[in-house]
Amino acid sequence: MTTITRFAPSPTGRLHVGNIRTALHNWMLAQKTGGKFMLRIDDTDPERSKEEYTVAIRADLAWLGMHPDGEERQSLRLDHYDAAFEKLRASGRVYRCYETAQELDLKRKVQLGRGKPPIYDRAGLELTDADHAAKAAEGIAPHWRFKLDHSTPITWDDGVRGPQKFDPATLSDPVIRRADGSWLYMLPSAVDDIEMGITDVLRGEDHVSNTAVQVQMFDAMGATPPRFGHEALLVGKEGKLSKRLGSLGCDAFREKDIEPQAIIALLARLGTSLPVEPIADVAALVETFDLSTFGRAPAKFDDADLERINTALVHQLNYGSVQDRLPDGMGEEAWHAIRPNLETVSGAHDYWAIVTGPIELPEFSDEDRAYLAEAAKTLSWGDNPWGALTSALKDSTGRKGKGLFLPLRQALTGQNHGPDMGELLPVLGEETARRRLERAAG
C-alpha cells in the first residue's frame, strides 16, 4: 500500500515554525517510503480564511523544498461533508443541542466544583420532538454533536507514543457542526482522510484526544483509520510554549537570511535522538528519518542552533547556488575567498564592498608606513602573490606573525581580520593591491 501523508493548514495566517515541522515530517515520511505528500487547505471558516495565506502557504512550502503531490481545498468539498453528515444522522450518530457558550461554561464549572471531569452531559439526547419543535418556533437552530460509543475502549498504536487507550465515557461528544451550518474541524478532516486515501497522519500531541474521537468517526463511516503519530510539541529555549514561536515563520527566516536547508536540517531532527547537524543533503536526512527516534519530551527550538547550522551550511554552498544573490561583479573566485567568513549569504555584500572600495584605513605608525612602502615595491604577481609577498617581506624586514601580516591586511582591506588573504589578494588584483599599499604608506 502506497504511503500517503498530508499537511492540513488553515489559511488564517502564515506558517510558523511549529507547523513547518509538522509539514516536514509528513513530507519526509512520504519521501522515505516512495509515497505521496498531499496538501489540504482547511478553509471551511470563510470569515478567517484568506486567499493570500493560501498563496503564502504554497510559496513557503516550495521555498523549503516540499512540493505536494496534490492539493485539496475543504471549501470545495462541502457537499462531501453534507453527505457524510446525513449518513451519520440516519444511523443515529449525531444529535441536536442548543446550549450557548455561556451555559456550557457554567456546566463545566459546576462539574469541576463537584470533582467531576468537565465533559458534556449529553443533555441534548434527552430532548423530545416537542422540545425541538419549540426551539424551532423560537427561531433557535441547533448545533450538532457526534455521539461517541461508550461500549468499547478506543485504542490505536501510536507511531510515537506507542499503544493508546481511551475510555470514550471520559470524552465529550464533540460539536461537529455549528448552528449556522458551518463545520468544525473533526468530521471534515476524517471525511477528507478517507476520500484522499491518507494512510499516515503525523501531528502534535495536543491532537491526541481529537484522534481518539476521530477513530470512532472512521469506524462510524465504515473506514479504517490512518496510522497516527503524535509528536511532542515545540517549545522555546526556555522550555515553555512560546507565543514567539507562533510568529516565527518563513518570512522571519528570510528576513534574517536563513537558508531553507538550515531550517530543514534543524527541524528534521529536533526532538529526536539523532544529532542535529548541518546536513545540506535532504536525501540523507530522509534516509535516517525514523519515528522510533522521536522522544516524548518537548522539543526545544533555539535561534542559536539555527544560526549555527545556517553558518555551517553557508560554508558549503557552491557558487552556482548563490550566484543570483551575490553583488554584481562578484565571481566564483571571490565567493570562495569570502565564504568561510560568512554567517549568511547576504554578508557577502559587506565583504564585496571591501574589494570594490573605498576602504577606511587605520592610523599607521611611521615604522608600519615604511614597511608598507616596501611592501608596495616588493609586490609581484604570480600564482601565489600573497605567499610571495609575505615570504619576501619576512626575509627583508625580519618581521613575523602579527607584525608581518596585520599591517598588510589593514592596508589592503581596512580590517583587522577577515577572509584568507591568500585567496582574497588575487580577487583584489595587482593594481588595486599596489594602490592601497601605496596609499597606506602615505
User: What is the distance between the alpha carbons of residues 291 and 272, in angstroms, rounded to a whole number?
Assistant: 8
Answer for the pair 230, 291: CB distance below 8 angstroms, yes or no. Answer: no
Tell me the three cell numbers of residue 264: 530543514
- CA 107 to the chain's CA centroid: 39
User: What is the distance between the alpha carbons of residues 25 and 202, in angstroms, rounded to a whole number?
Assistant: 7
Neighbours of 4 (CB within 10 A): 22
User: What is the distance between the alpha carbons of residues 261 and 345, in angstroms, rounded to a whole number?
Assistant: 13
243 is in an annotated binding site: yes
- Residues with Cβ < 8 Å from 333, sequence gap 6 or more? 423, 426, 427
User: Residue 340: is the preceding peptide bond cis (ω within 30°)?
Assistant: no
- Residues with Cβ < 8 Å from 425, sequence gap 6 or more? 385, 386, 389, 412, 433
Output the CA torsion 29→32→37→42 (10° steps).
10
List C-alpha distances in Å: 401 to 109, 190, 316, 394, 418.
76, 70, 29, 9, 16
**Residue stretches of the annotated binding site:** 243
**Residue stretches of the annotated binding site for ATP:** 243
